Amino acid sequence: NYQLTADLVQRYWDQDTVGALVASPANPTGTVLSRTELVSLAKATRERHGHLVVDEIYHGLTYGMDAPSVLEVDDSAFVLNSFSKYFGMTGWRLGWLVAPPQAVADLEKLAQNLYISAPSMAQHAALACFQPETLAIFEQRRAEFARRRDYLLPALRELGFRIAVEPQGAFYLYADISAYGGDAFAFCRHFLETEHVAFTPGLDFGRHLAGHHVRFAYTQSLPRLEEAVHRIARGLRSWQG
C-alpha cells in the first residue's frame, strides 16, 4: 500500500536515523494506516529510541471508514494536522502540532523564531469550521469526493492504468504507467501539451519507482473528470513513449 512498515523500519534504520515520518491518509496514494500498523510502527521506533511523526492532515477525508489517530496507540508520537484539507482552508496556513510534553519547550522556541503565531483572521475563520451548518457542508463535500473516486478509479483502470490500491482517503489516485514506457515526466508533459489535462509525475513524491508513476487528483467536478477521461483516452492514442 505504499506505506512504511515496521519491517522496513527495522531493515533501514541506522545510526543516523532519529525518527520515522508517515502520512495517513497519504498523499499521493490515499492509503490509510490501520490501528495495528500504527502500533507496530510505534513499537519499532520506540525500540530504537526514535520518534514517530504522523501527518494526519487528510483526517476526515476518508470513505467508508475513519482513519485511526496514532495518539490512540502512542502518546509519545508527534501529530501534524491542518485546516487545509477536510476544512477546505488551503492557503490560510493554519494548522497544529500535537507533541509529547518533553518536546514542547523546544517547539515553542522554534515557533517564536519561525512564525510567532497564526494570523488572527485565519483563527477566526477556523472557528467557523466547527459550526453544525459548516460541518454539514464538509460532509457533503466528502460524499462528493467519494463519488468522484468511484467514477475515476474504474475509468482509468479501463484505459489501462495500473492502480494497485484503492484510496481510502484524501483525493488522489496513484497510477503505474510502466506499460506506457515508464517516463512519468514526459508522459505528463504530453497530456498537458496535447490534451490540456494536468496530472503529476511521481518524481514529486519520492524516488522509489517514481518515474513509473503519476498522480491523478479528483478535485474537479464530475463532468470535468469525465471530459478529462475522454481526453486521456484520446491522448493515449497519440502517445509515443
Q: Is the peptide bond before 132 cis (omega within 30 degrees of 0)?
A: no
CATH of the domain at 207: 3.90.1150.10
**pLDDT of residue 229 exceeding 90:** yes
Whether 10 and 110 share a structural domain: yes
Whether 154 and 220 share a structural domain: yes
3-state secondary structure of 193: helix
Whether 88 and 179 share a structural domain: no
Number of folded domains that form the chain: 2
| pLDDT for the residue numbered 182 | 72
Residue 19, domain member (yes or no):
yes
Q: What length is written for the chain?
A: 241
Q: What is the pLDDT of residues 79-111, one digit of tens each?
A: 999 999 999 999 999 999 999 999 999 999 999
Q: How far apart are the first and last CA of the chain?
A: 27
Q: Which three cell numbers stand for residue 188?
A: 505528463
Whether 137 and 114 share a structural domain: no
Last residue of a domain, one of 90, 119, 148: 119
Whether 114 and 137 share a structural domain: no
The CA-atom distances, in angstroms, between 197 and each of 93, 151, 158, 189 are 28, 17, 18, 9
| pLDDT for the residue numbered 181 | 84
3-state secondary structure of 156: helix
The DSSP secondary-structure symbol of 61 reads: -
Residue 1, domain member (yes or no):
no
Whether 113 and 75 share a structural domain: yes
Residue 84, Cβ neighbours under 10 Å: how many?
16
Region of residue 109 (phi > 0: left; psi between -120 and 50: alpha; otherwise: beta): alpha
Whether 46 and 140 share a structural domain: no
Query: What type of residue is 235?
Result: G
Q: What is the pLDDT of residues 125-173, one digit of tens each?
A: 999 999 999 999 999 999 999 999 999 999 999 999 999 999 999 999 9
Query: What type of residue is 21?
Result: L
Whether 187 and 228 share a structural domain: yes
CATH of the domain at 23: 3.40.640.10
Residue 140, φ and ψ in degrees, nearest 5: -65, -40
Whether 112 and 165 share a structural domain: no
Mean pLDDT of the chain: 96
Residue 142, domain member (yes or no):
yes
Identify any residues that bridge with 78 across adjacent strands, giving them in sequence order. Answer: 53
Residue 126, domain member (yes or no):
no
Residue 125, domain member (yes or no):
no
Whether 51 and 110 share a structural domain: yes
Domain with 49, as residue range(s), is: 6-119
Query: What type of residue is 59?
Result: H
